[in-house]
Amino acid sequence: MTQSLLLRCITSVVRRGAVPQPGRERGATVSALHGSERKGPSMKASRLFTLLGSLAVLISLGAGAVRPGAAHAGAAPNLLDRNTGIVVHNPKIVNLYWDGNWDGDNPSFHRSSIDNFTRDLVGNSHYLATAGQYGVGPASFGGSFTPSWLCGASRSGSMLSSVTLAAWVTCEVLVPGTGVPYPDINFNGIANTLYVVYLPHGTRINDTYTLPAVSLFGHTYGPYTIGNASCSSTTAGGYGGYHAFSFGGTNAFAWAVVVADCAQGSFGSVTGIASHEIAEASVDPYPTASWINSSLPSSSIFSDGEAGDICEHKSSPNVTIDTFVYARYWSNRDNACKP
Ligand SMILES: [Zn+2]
């Protein structure tokens, strides 16, 4: 990720007063050392300890771009390249609201509304059906959770770093007693459980990091200087969300964040951002390692290269299904944005 990309992200994302739009995402990865393969709570706690101890290093991955190998995405319809082909095979979406008083602080989009949208996403809308061609099968809703006291503050602060965010997500997911389900075990390269974090009104993400180069799955990440920020209700420009992954238990697991403040009260904007990130996290859970447009330079691959990004720039980036606004994403099979 280059500084020019960062500037572009800051100046070109969610527009004030615009119709609901999916937020631009930035690939973010957070890694930690694998712990024991045992599933007991005490082992989970020790793994978390290890993970937190490693966060200073991990952060560097925190928004790391992946430089793809050979550039080979061609003209339509094959805008998305398989690369490693690792996907979330059966996304089980778990909503994490970082605000113990979510409904009071976010009256335009109550938890129940967002949860109902999530149920529709995995159910009646068939939103992820298009992702079937990339290996994503039936999805499910894994529940809705507010912060556990075990993981610190009951509401995210006004300015959040991706380090802090990643630590909170991994705590909620891995520490016994939070109530949040552990990542599903599978042998497909990443857990099926996909956690979606909703940040409340008044919270913005802002990071400045320089990341070392790291290799994963044959891809080299970094080094990159990250100086990126999300939008907010008072700050135009910046991304509305991103997706990332963490290691925990026997698997890595994917997670996404939705900066609800960017929606400026528009529920459709919240669901647009969320669906965009869920689609992309499903088909590219290790950002840029799977289904992306590999022909793009690293300077724009995060803003333009993923399934949702390709459609974000087209004339009808969103579609309404079952009263919910969804972000379209690219279908190689249809040579079009779907659904
Ligand atoms: Zn995107």
Distance 41 CA to ligand 1 centre (A): 35
**Pairwise CA distance, residues 75 & 326, whole Å:** 25
What is the C-alpha separation between 286 and 190, in angstroms, rounded?
9
25, 5 Cβ separation under 8 angstroms: no
Residue 23 has pLDDT above 90, yes or no: no
Q: Looking up tokens 């950002």, which residue turns up?
A: 287
Contact yes or no for 197/255 (Cβ under 8 A): yes
Sequence-distant (≥ 6) Cβ neighbours of residue 7 within 8 angstroms: none
Q: Residue 73: pLDDT above 70?
A: no
Give me the chain's average pLDDT, please: 77
H helix or E strand, kind and range, residue 105: helix 102-105
The reported pLDDT for the residue numbered 270 is: 97
Task: Dig out the tokens for 164 from the structure.
Answer: 């802090």
Q: Which residue has the higher pLDDT, 238 or 227?
A: 238
User: Which of these, 316, 254, 247, 335, lies nearest to 290 by C-alpha position?
Assistant: 254
Compute the average pLDDT of residues 290-295: 91
Half-sphere exposure of 145 (CA within 13 A, CB side): 24
Smallest Cα–Cα separation from 19: which of 198, 322, 264, 336?
264
Confidence at residue 188, expressed as pLDDT on a 0 to 100 scale: 76
Residue 151 has pLDDT above 90, yes or no: yes
Total number of domains constituting the chain: 1
Whether the per-residue pLDDT at 66 is higher than 80: the answer is no
Q: Is the peptide bond before 223 cis (omega within 30 degrees of 0)?
A: yes
Q: Report residue 48 as tokens.
A: 């978390």
CB-side neighbour CA atoms (13 Å) of 166: 31
Identify the domain containing residue 248 by its residue range. 3-69+76-338
244 CA from centroid of ligand 1 (Å): 11
Taking each helix axis from N to C end, the angle separating 111-122 and 267-283, rounded to the nearest 10 degrees, works out to: 40
Distance from the alpha carbon of residue 241 to the mean position of ligand 1, in angstroms: 8
CA of 273 to the centre of ligand 1 (A): 9
In this structure, of 31-40, 163-172, 181-190, 271-280, the range with the lowest mean pLDDT score is 31-40
119: nearest Cα among 95, 149, 98, 148:
95
Output the CA 302–ligand 1 centroid distance in Å.
Answer: 7
Residue 318 alpha carbon to ligand 1 centre in Å: 13
SS3 category, 95: strand
Q: Is residue 6 a contact partner of residue 205, using CB atoms and an 8 Å limit?
A: no
How far is it, in rounded angstroms, from Cα 57 to Cα 195?
A: 22
pTM for the whole structure? 0.80
pLDDT in the model for residue 43: 32
- C-alpha–C-alpha distance, residues 128 and 123, integer Å: 9
Q: What is the predicted pLDDT for the residue at 245?
A: 87
Q: How far is the CA of 312 from the centre of ligand 1 (A)?
A: 8
Where does the pLDDT of residue 90 fall: very low under 50, low under 70, confident under 90, or very high at 90 and above? very high
How many Å lie between the centroid of ligand 1 and the Cα of residue 36?
33
The answer to whether residue 38 scores a pLDDT higher than 70 is no
Distance from Cα 101 to the centre of ligand 1, integer Å: 29
pLDDT surpassing 60 at residue 153: yes
Pick the closest to residue 50 from 138, 202, 155, 174 (CA basis).
Answer: 174
Rounded to whole angstroms, the Cα distance separating 255 from 166 reads: 9
How many helices and strands in the chain, by DSSP H and E?
8, 16
Give me ligand 1 centre to Cα 322, in Å: 23
| pLDDT exceeds cutoff 50 at 273 | yes
Closest CA to 168 of 117, 96, 275: 96
Report, as an integer, the average pLDDT of 22-33: 35
Portion of the chain with pLDDT greater than 90, in percent: 55
How much is the pLDDT for 14?
28
Higher per-residue pLDDT: 40 or 314 = 314
Average pLDDT over residues 129-155: 97
